Amino acid sequence: MPITEILSRNAALYGPEVCLVEVNPEVQENRKVTWKEYELIETGSAAQYRREMTWKEFDDRANRFANLLLSRGVEKGDKVAILMMNCLEWLPVYFGVLKAGAVAVPLNFRYTADEIKYCLELSEADTIVFGPEFIGRMEFIFDKVDRLKMLFFVGSDCPSFAESYDKLTRYFSAEDPKIPLTDDENAAIYFSSGTTGFPKAILHAHRSLMTSCQVEQNHHGQTRDDVFLCIPPLYHTGAKMHWFGSFYVGGKAVLLRGVKPEWILQTVSQEACTIVWLLVPWAQDILDSIERGDLVLSDYKLEQWRLMHIGAQPVPPSLIRRWQSYFPNHAYDTNYGLSESIGPGCVHLGVENIHKVGAIGKAGYGWQTRIVDEEGNDVAPGTVGELAVKGGGVMKCYFNDPEATAKTIHDGWLFTGDMAREDEDGFIYLVDRKKDVIISGGENLYPVQIEDFLRAHDAIKDVAVIGLPDKRLGEIAAAIIELKPDHPCTEEEINRFCQKLPRYKRPRKIIFAEVPRNATGKIEKPKLRERYRATKLVERESNG
């Protein structure tokens, strides 16, 4: 069954009930909304602005956009990109694309103009829906993508090179277009990356989306009484697929635009949230704020909060021990997944297994796992090998990249590129990543991209970027820089040079040293990681 039928069912059964809430603690004065003005909510410490939507409104708006796309000649399988910050409009646009039989292509809001262009071309998208935060980037590339035919702008003051989504959709029918869809038809393209740092287009069928609904609801037992707090960006499979568990049963969700600890607790309190998915840095910030006295838990209504779960990066067991000391009644869980397996849940710890914190868990609901050697043979328990997973959420392919697909999928098994081991109880622990991707605060950083940028500096002879452990972010990017002879350079100069990079890609540590390479010219990153991770550990211990 295609996932669009869940939305139609929810609208029929629960039409007048609120299903989505947007809470924005920092509404910009010049940002106008187009559906309903934000309701100003006075809180104990700061004002928050709030919008909401019912199931009937959600379904109607998805249908209107689907009918708009169909009127413009969009056909089954056409690609429609989505480039927006989290907001009430995001999910109706996504489901409108699916209801038209098209393929939704969510884009990372941190992408530069060149990265947006690359992903539009790679996915063969000919339509894009974008928000006000992206006018400058879209203005730079809209006439440089040959196949891009339609640009829809969500917000007020529509730029001249686009059309107003808000003004157009109101003229189209709210009736479901009823485009026939099967489980095996294409539904969405998400982006990942290989070791080179260039994004791959990950193609999923409708079956994958439904699988994620069923897996998430099975793992966390969502009911219509639950309220899910969604903080991570909706372009990411993790955020959306965790929400799918609530969507599947007609539960409400709250989109919080902001990650400050007081905003999170205010929203949990005011919206009666029962389930919150956090990244490690956000959980760390909440605990630090409590311990500094900046947050007083008795100021908030938190009794209904039943589950905190974490994903997107390794979770330090010490963090969960601290969390339980302040929130002893919370169930805790962690999920492992990747965009190629439609996000979280292919491996799942389980709330009953908190004694195994540090492990990523066992095969999730409906999934199978293996740990294999270089020849694809299962390894013995305790032996490190590559983690492979199999289930209904495995991608169809890397779009237009059969070679990469063949390297990743074998007989239905998805080879993750993550090295892992299994203990005597069958719990899986990640050991290292085959790929050099750095996961910092839940975001993937690709060292080759940063290295290529830094090599343009006149004083730099060679550079290697590696991940170093960090208490708050999990990892940070560190640049080991070898300078040219007679080219003195300071850390301050390098940091100024890196201002041209997006903030999240800038190295957080600069180390001036020789960059070792092996006989074939490859950087010896394992040697660098061993050397500087030990240094980082000594620094942390000396700082208490």
Confidence category of residue 34, pLDDT binned at 50, 70, 90? very low
Reported pTM? 0.83
Residue type, 220: H
Q: What integer best gives the mean pLDDT of the chain?
A: 89
Lowest mean pLDDT among 173-177, 286-290, 535-539: 535-539
Per-residue pLDDT tens for 421-442?
A: 999 999 998 876 666 778 888 8
Percent of the chain with pLDDT over 70: 91
Torsion sign, CA atoms 437, 108, 237, 254: positive
How far apart CA 253 and CA 18 sit, in angstroms, is 9
Q: Which residue has the tokens 């969009």?
A: 74
Res 195: pLDDT: 38
Res 520: pLDDT: 44
Res 540: pLDDT: 46
CA distances to 92, 155, 211, 444 from 105, rounded to whole Å, are 14, 20, 19, 18
- The backbone region for 77, taken as left when phi is positive above 0, alpha when psi lies in -120 to 50, beta otherwise, is left
CATH numbers and ranges of domains, the chain: 438-542 (3.30.300.30)
- Angle in degrees, CA 133, 135, 140, rounded to 5: 135
Pick the more confident residue, 44 or 291.
291
How far apart CA 351 and CA 88 sit, in angstroms, is 31
Q: Which residue has the tokens 């929400």?
A: 243
User: DSSP of 38-106, one letter per residue?
Assistant: PEEEE-SSSEEEEEEEEHHHHHHHHHHHHHHHHHTT--TT-EEEEE--SSTTHHHHHHHHHHTT-EEEE
Res 525: pLDDT: 84
